[in-house]
A and B are shown apart, each in its own frame.
Chain A
Amino acid sequence: MHIPDGYLDPLTCAVTYLISLAVGFYAFKKAKHAPEETKALLPVLAAAIFVAQMLNWPIPGGTSLHLVGGALASILVGPWLAYLAMALVLLTQALIFHDGGITTLGANILNMGVVAVFTGYFVYRLAPEKYKVIASFLAGWLSITLAGIVCGVELGLSSSFLYGLGITVPVMGGWHAVLGVVEGAITAGVYAYLKARHPTLIKG
């Protein structure tokens, strides 16, 4: 769901940049006081998310997706460092590969680095201890569904038609509610594996 240059109007670009920068400023302050052991996961986590996003999965019915990873990242390192990991990945994708626009970078960070990250985090944290694996599935699923809806809102607000939102929100929300199942399954799979084999890596 990387929005390319050209899809969003200048106002939407500006507002989404401001929100993402404000969260980024706070995340930086939070990162200063995070434990060194957790901070140390940032590079390897960001690198893993970058590579995971290169694996595009074709979905029967003619659409495709790749992992976003925001929910998984927030479960592993907490929402502030997860935001930073996502922002670094999105910045690299935009600058080096023009995957996601430069005018739309703020929106992409908002969708995948804020909405997906914090949605995933809250779903995971609110679940009781014995349901954490199911919660990580729901965290992945809802993170993509809500990020898709917010992305739809941004697109809809950018369209010159009054009915823009009425088209983009159901299309984006509906599709991502379906595709989000894959994100949920991968999030739960990786979480269950790490919890069983490398529990010290889960610091969210």
Chain B
Amino acid sequence: MSMREYFIKYKKAFTLIGLLLVISPIFGVYLASLIGYHEPLDIAASMLGLNETTEEINWTPLLDYTVPGLPDWLGYIVSGVIGVLVVLVLAFVFLKLTRL
């Protein structure tokens, strides 16, 4: 099945994925900045005094779903589109491998 046929077959799902991408900054940027994104994992780690080294060893310009030069909300959407495409390509490559 070609990529095009695949998108047509799962048109409804991909439409939903597209819609969620467009509204994702409301959740990932706006609401997160309102209360500060704070997971239980961060609470447990700070109780133990564990230190994150993400910033020191970072390799990606798209850190935390931002794109350099773009406002956060747009960077979040662009990051989401890039992420979806990478996931899809990896999954298609993987499926090819399972058919060898």
Contact = CB atoms under 8 A, between A and B. Distances in A.
Interface residues of A, number: 61
Interface stretch (A90-98, A122-130, A133-141): A90-98
Given A88-B87, A168-B48, A65 B39 contact: yes
Interface stretch (A14-22, A54-62, A113-121): A54-62
A6 B31 contact: no
Contacts of B90: 46, 88, 91-92
B63 A98 contact: yes
User: Mostly helix, strand, loop or mixed at chain B's interface?
Assistant: helix
Contacts of B38: 62-64
A42 B10 CA distance: 12
Q: How many interface residues does chain B have, given as a range?
A: 35 or more
Contacts of B35: 58, 62, 64
A120 to B, nearest CB: 19
Most chain B CB within a 10 A radius of its CB, from A42, A51, A99, A101: A51
Nearest to A7: B50
Interface in B9-53: 9-10, 13-14, 16-17, 20-21, 24, 27-28, 31-32, 34-41, 43-45, 47-48, 50-53
B2 to A, nearest CB: 13
A62 B76 CA distance: 22
